[in-house]
Structure 1
Amino acid sequence: MPRVRRCRFNGCHAMCELPLHYCKQHAEHEQEYLESRMKWARSHNKQYQHKYNTRVRNRDTSSQERYQFYRSKQWQVLRKQALERDHYLCQYCLANHLVNAGKTVDHIVAIEIDPSLRNSLGNLATICRDCHRVKTDLEQKLFGTGKDNSLIDREPISKVSEWSELIEDFQNGKQIL
């Protein structure tokens, strides 16, 4: 059975097959709609990207350097080595005896905390999306990393096992700090 959706024409409740947006009765509007979508996407993408770059990526010299580092060939090589070493498994989940796939490579000690460790393969670990989201939130709370925060002078956590305990506690609703 083909996938269908409701016609986009105002007041029309007929169904049309995907990828079309209009039924056979209103098919003349399809090309106009696709052109307007493409026009919006092109203009929105440039504006959004410009705002994001100026407010987040290039807000200061240190964030600009980090952004350039993540685009470098050196980072691509390190990332691939870490993923292959960890067999594409989240090391934070493994520390809690869970097996989850991970595609992201994370700095155990954030670059903002200790920039000298950014090229160290020993400071990299594969992480799943859920653990990465929680770890980022915890880093912001514990160390003041991230946009509009100021760094807090605290001993960095340099072991995956310690981070995994904090992540598990946070996910279980325990108060951190």
Structure 2
Amino acid sequence: MPRYRRCRQPECHAMVKYPNHYCAKHFEYEAEYLANRQRWARKHAEQYQHHDKRYAKHYNTVTRNRNEERSDQYKFYRSRQWVGLRESTLDHDHYLCQYCKAYGKLTPNSKTVDHIVPIAYNSELKADSSNLATICRECHRLKTQWEQSYYGTGQNIAKKDVPEIHDIQRIVILMRKK
């Protein structure tokens, strides 16, 4: 199915097929618009390219690969093994958030796969399909906050010696408790 967008001419509400920016009535402005975009991109390319490289280098050294454990986690999430585990988990859970489901709510089209027991706490469970569940954004945010307080996962937080919880129902109760 082709994609459409609105004509860029002010007060014109005609729909235009991608990749065009103007409708047939205002098509005369298309070449000028594209030339201006290219001129702007050339003028600002170095400024933005330099910033992106500097930020990426800083992020990679300070956050993503701050230690050997985090570097291994990052590599795992880019592996074929993870891609296969993720797909099979999404198919098994029918793209439904398992945490919302345990709470009595159906949240379709959830595309994130979560480790029930975080791999930062127990890395031996990272490839265990019984430790994976589909999760929506809201539940992922709540669960991450709960994991940081319960397990002590996260940056600059000391890990706690607590029992692992594998039951989603119990995790939902604990993470939604205020």
Query: What SS is found at the alignment partner of 1:56?
Result: helix
Alignment partner for residue 154 of structure 2, among 132, 139, 146? Answer: 146
Deviation at 1:36? 3.4
Can you list the C-alpha shifts for 1:9-49, whole angstroms capped at 9, x where unaligned? xxxxxxxxx79xxx9xx978654422234333322221111
The TM-score, its normalising length taken from structure 1, stands at 0.77
Question: 1:3–1:131: structure 2 CA closer, same or farther, 3 Å change rule?
Answer: farther
Aligned residue for 2:164? 156
Aligned residue for 1:15? none
Alignment partner for residue 70 of structure 1, among 62, 65, 77? Answer: 77
Root-mean-square deviation over aligned CA pairs: 2.5
User: What are the equivalent positions in structure 2 for 1:34-53 lying under 5 Å apart?
Assistant: 34-53=41-60
Alignment partner for residue 92 of structure 1, among 84, 96, 99? Answer: 99
Alignment partner for residue 136 of structure 2, among 128, 133, 154? Answer: 128
Q: How many residues align?
A: 155
Aligned residue for 1:119? 127
Corresponding position: 1:102 with 2:110? yes
Question: 1:113–1:30: structure 2 CA closer, same or farther, 3 Å change rule?
Answer: closer
Question: 1:2–1:123: structure 2 CA closer, same or farther, 3 Å change rule?
Answer: same
The TM-score, its normalising length taken from structure 2, stands at 0.77
Q: Which runs of 5+ in 2 are unaligned?
A: 1-5, 11-20, 23-28
Measure the CA separation in 2 of the matches of 1:4 and 1:146: 49
Question: 1:87–1:51: structure 2 CA closer, same or farther, 3 Å change rule?
Answer: same
Measure the CA separation in 2 of the matches of 1:41 and 1:53: 18
Query: Identity of aligned pairs, percent?
Result: 39
